Amino acid sequence: MALNLLMLGPPGAGKGTQAERFARSRGIPRISTGDILREAVHAGTEIGRRARAIMDRGELISDDVMIGIVRERLERDDAQSGFVLDGFPRTVAQASALDGIMDGRDPLLVIDIVVPETELVRRLGTRLICAKCGTNAPIAGGAATCATCGGKLVQRADDDQAVVLERLKVYHRQSEPLVEYYRVRPTFRSIDGAQPPDRVAADLAAAIVAASNVGVAGGRR
C-alpha cells in the first residue's frame, strides 16, 4: 500500500520539519506547495511576483492555482508509491478537490499537528529563511548561515509580527475548518506539536501506524 500522508497544522507548527524528516526516512517525496511558490518568488517569474505580493500580506494563494500545482505534482512517477503533502489543502474547497485527485488511490492519512497560539507567535517571530535559496532554517537551529547552500539567514517578510498575527487569523478563518472536514475519517489523527522535535517525530510515526492499520481495514477512499 502506498503511504499517502497529509500533514495539517497552523504556520509555525513544525509541519515542514516533520514532513521532510518523515519523507526522507521512508524514501518518498515531500510535496510542499510553499516551497514550490517560494522557488517561483526567488526566480522572479510572473506567478512568483504575484505570489510574493500575496504572501507578504499574509494572505493565501487562490484555490485554482494551488489545486493545479498539486494535481500535476501528484501525477509524477515518484509520487505513485506515496508522498508527504505539506501546505495543501488549506481550504475545504481544496480538500474536496484533493479527494477527487485521490480517487482510486490508496487511503489518505491525515495528521493534525496542534500547537498553542502563544507558542506559534514566539516561533514565527524568530524564524529565519535563506536569502539565497529560500530554505527555511530550523526554528531552534541558532545558525547564521543556510545548511543547504551557505547563504545568509534573514527573517522572512511574512514573519513580521503584524503579518504573523494576520496569517494566524487567516488560518483560523479558512484553514482550521479542515480539521472538522477530516476529523470524522478513521485515518485522521492529532498529535501535540509543542513537544521537542524528536518526541513529535515519535508521536507522528505512531499515529501513522495507527491510521495506516485503519486505512488497510477500510480500503481505499
Catalytic residue among 21, 38, 73, 167: 167
Which of 30, 52, 127, 189 is catalytic? The answer is 127
Instruction: Give the largest Cα separation in the chain, rounded.
Output: 49
Q: Is the dihedral angle over the CA atoms 107, 190, 18, 52 positive or is it negative? A: positive
- Per-residue DSSP letters for 156-171? -GGGSHHHHHHHHHHI
Which candidate in 73, 123, 156, 189 is catalytic? Answer: 156
Active site residue 122: no
Strands 128-130 and 153-155: antiparallel
Among residues 15, 38, 123, 189, the one annotated as catalytic is: 15
CA distance 38 to 55: 10
Comparing CA positions, the residue from 109, 92, 86, 93 lying closest to residue 30 is 86
* Residue 57: half-sphere exposure toward Cβ, Cα within 13 Å: 8
Q: Is 221 a catalytic residue?
A: no
Q: Is 44 exposed, middle or buried (0-12, 13-18, 19+ CB in 10 A)?
A: exposed
Catalytic, out of 21, 90, 123, 189: 90
38 is catalytic: no
Q: Are 23 and 30 in contact (CB under 8 A)?
A: yes
**Cell digits for 76?**
509524477
User: Looking at the annotation, which residues are catalytic?
Assistant: 15, 90, 127, 156, 167
